[in-house]
Structure formats: structure tokens, C-alpha cells
Amino acid sequence: MIYLDNNATTKIDEEVLAFALPFLTTNFANASSTHRFGLVANEAVKNARKQVCTLLNCEPNEIVFTSGATEAINLVIKGLQSVPNRKHIITVQTEHTAVLDTCVYMESIGYEVTYLPVQRSGLLDLGLLKEHITENTLLVCVMFANNEIGTIQPIKQIADLAHEKGAYFFTDATQAVGKIPVKVNDLGVDFLAFSGHKLHAPKGIGALYVRAQAGRKAHLTPLQHGGGHEKGLRSGTLNVFGIVGLGQACEVAQKNMEKNTTKIAEMRDFLEKELLKIENTFVNGNIENRLPNTTNICFEGADSEAIILGLEDIAVSNGSACTSMKIEPSHVLKAIGLTDEQAFQSIRLSLSKHNTMEEMKIAAEKITKLVRELREML
């Protein structure tokens, strides 16, 4: 299989698996237990927290381990209900459904939510954002890098605009962390969420950054109560295997980021260039400011589902894996101006460090042949 769906999930690194596996087998103790075996697990969690912090440039007490970004998103958006006199949330139409659905819930309990449009590139218009932030705005929530088209938003500028009106700023950085530099202090974000399985860590683990700096410190109400784990924000027995795996994946990502980014971007650019040789094709979104591993291409006259099924031994996607069961056009592609027909004729190709240039050549050849065959069938 040639796997080109890494924005959906990644293969766990062998180094990460080897490092974390003992915490399922020999060092399986509860990290909250006070005996020697529990203390070993607790030290492993502390080390992993430091590894995550090194990647994000923050302090250990600012990291909350979760089951993934979806939980972290819910914890932030719902957890800010205790903040008085602010009942307005601003987000973007191209956000992940984890954000959009949570915002719909917030509307149901009395909050006003503004869903801002984006430009054809997928970028948010900062002037439009500034117009909508008011003294009543509680939270501005904008994805760091889009999961379908890869567009990277100007996060620091957005955070600054939110803070000018006293609002918090939260970014879902699931697709960015481990692929490009994400330094929370430089960016000025108040909250940041990501999932481990997008950067070669296990599934079922993620982290939430919660700023502790004086003046911007946020007080969240937890979603679940119990033993007071994770500073009371996320009660429940710690997933030591997942946490250790996430920490190690963060360390590996930081160590090899520059090399991997160059390699992956070269492969993506080659594949994209070859596919754009097919007549009536175009790239969706911003080609200047995007993730190095992602391209989303519209093949007019060829149904994306038929492409996915026809490739057989090449894994690609026609949108977010979290919404793949819905038979409707991508809300991201619709938001950047594509017609329903064009959205249904677009596929996302997302690479990782495990891909090779030889795979890109094979994929380009097979996709080109299949697209032309599908068009001939019309």
C-alpha cells in the first residue's frame, strides 16, 4: 500500500512504539500509585510532559493530557462558561467539525457564535475578524492549519486581535504540531490542542496547552470529575502508554523536523506537479502558505469516491476522516468557493516521512491513468 492519507492518521514510529510498549507489558502500573512501580510510571509521565513542552516551548504545568484534540476542544469551549459577562464566540467556517459541532452546542445554551467566512485561499480576512470582535467576545477559535487543504492561518496576528478586546484565543493545531514549528509563547495563544496520532504517536492520546502566564491565565471548568488528575482538569487514570508514546513522538519530531519538512515538501511538490499535468485540474486552497505535506486537487469530471475505490492499493481521501460517513460535499471546499460538483471531484493527498519519491512516481502514474479512464466513461 502507498499511504497518502496521513492527515487522517499516521503510522506509529517504530522508535516510539519500542519506547512506550513496556508501559503496557512490564511497567504497567498506575501512575498515581505510590509504590515503586507506580513511581516509575509517574516519572515516565513527567518526562513525556517535558518532551511535549520542549516541542511547544511552554512549561510542564501548562500541559493537560487528553484522549485527543476533540476532547481538548470540548474542554476549552465548554470549560470557559464560568467566565462572566462574555457570551460571544468567533470561529471560522472551515474549522474541524469538533469545533463547529461544539459551537452549535454553545448556541443551544445561549451563546452567540459568529462563523466567519474565508477567502478562496482558505485564509481568514483579519480585517473582517477585527470588525466582529467586541467587548462581549469570550473566545476566538481558529484552526492553525486546515486538515483538508493545509492552509496555515496567521496565528500570532489573530491572537493579538483577540487580546486587544480581552478575549481568549484558542487554536486547534492538530495538523501543525510536529510538522512545522509551533511555539506557543511566540504566538501568544491561550489554548492549543493536538492529537498524537497525527505525528506518529499512538491513537487515543493528545494534549491541551493552557496558558498559565499571569494576566492571560485561563480558568477552565472540567468536563469530567473524579480523582483530580491533570490538575483537576481531566480526571481519570492516566494512559501511560499513550502519554509516553506522545512524548517520544514529540522529541523525534523536533529532532528531525527540518530534514523531514524538506523531504516531504519535495515529494508533495513533485506529485502535485505531475497531477496538474492532467487537463482540467487545479489545487484547492493556498499554495504559498500551507502544510508541507498536503495538497488537495480537483479533477473535474472524475468523482472522488470513484478515484478512491479505483486506486485500491493507494490510500487517499476526499476530506476529513471524521466526516467521511456523511454523503455531502466538504464544508471546507464549499467555504472556499467550490461548487458541490467540484467538491465531489476533489481528493486530498497527505504525505509523511515514511513516503518515498518512488511512491510519488507510481501514485502520479496510477492516478493520472484512472482519472482519464473515469472521464472517458462519462
Give the three cell numbers for residue 156: 500570532
CA 127, CA 114: separation in Å to the nearest integer?
15
Q: Do domains 2-8+257-376 and 14-251 have the same CATH topology?
A: no
pLDDT in tens, 317-375: 987 555 555 678 999 999 999 999 999 999 999 999 999 999 999 999 999 999 999 99
Secondary structure class of 317 (helix, strand, coil)? strand
CB crowding 309-347: b at 16 or more within 10 Å, else e: ebbeebbbbbbbeeeeeeeebbbbbbbbebeeebbbbbb
Beta strand extents in 10-130 (DSSP E only): 63-66, 88-92, 112-116
- Buried b / exposed e over 196-213, threshold 16 CB at 10 Å, is bbbbbbbbbbbbbbbbee
The answer to whether domain 2-8+257-376 has CATH 3.30.1280.10 is no
Q: Are 168 and 140 in contact (CB under 8 A)?
A: yes
pLDDT at site 216 = 61
Q: What is the per-residue pLDDT across 125-137, written as a single tens digit (0 to 9) for each?
A: 999 999 999 999 9
Query: Residue 168 has what pLDDT?
Result: 96
Say whether pLDDT at 223 is over 90.
no
How confident is the model over 29-71, as pLDDT tens digits? 999 999 999 999 999 999 999 999 999 999 999 999 999 999 9
Rounded to whole angstroms, what are the CA distances from 366 to 3, 54, 149, 197, 359? 14, 41, 22, 28, 11
Whether 322 is catalytic: yes
Single-letter residue type at 211: R
Q: For the chain, first and last CA: distance in Å?
A: 28
Question: Which 3 state secondary structure label does DSSP give 206?
Answer: strand
Going by C-alpha positions, the residue among 39, 73, 37, 375 that lies closest to residue 207 is: 73
Q: Give the whole-angstrom CA distance, residue 216 versus residue 234.
A: 21
3-state secondary structure of 247: helix
Q: Which residues pair with 315 in a beta bridge?
A: 3
Mean pLDDT, all residues of the chain: 95
**Range list of β-strands (E), the chain:** 2-3, 63-66, 88-92, 112-116, 137-141, 168-172, 191-195, 206-210, 281-283, 294-299, 314-315, 346-350
* In the chain, where the domains are located: 2-8+257-376, 14-251
Residue 4 and residue 6: Cα distance in Å, rounded? 6
SS3 329: coil
Q: Which amino acid is at 51?
A: Q
- Using CB atoms within 10 Å of the CB of residue 17, give its burial: 0 to 12 exposed, 13 to 18 middle, 19+ buried: middle
Q: What is the model's pTM?
A: 0.95
Q: Does 14-251 carry CATH code 3.40.50.300?
A: no
The active-site residue, picked from 58, 141, 298, 322, is: 322
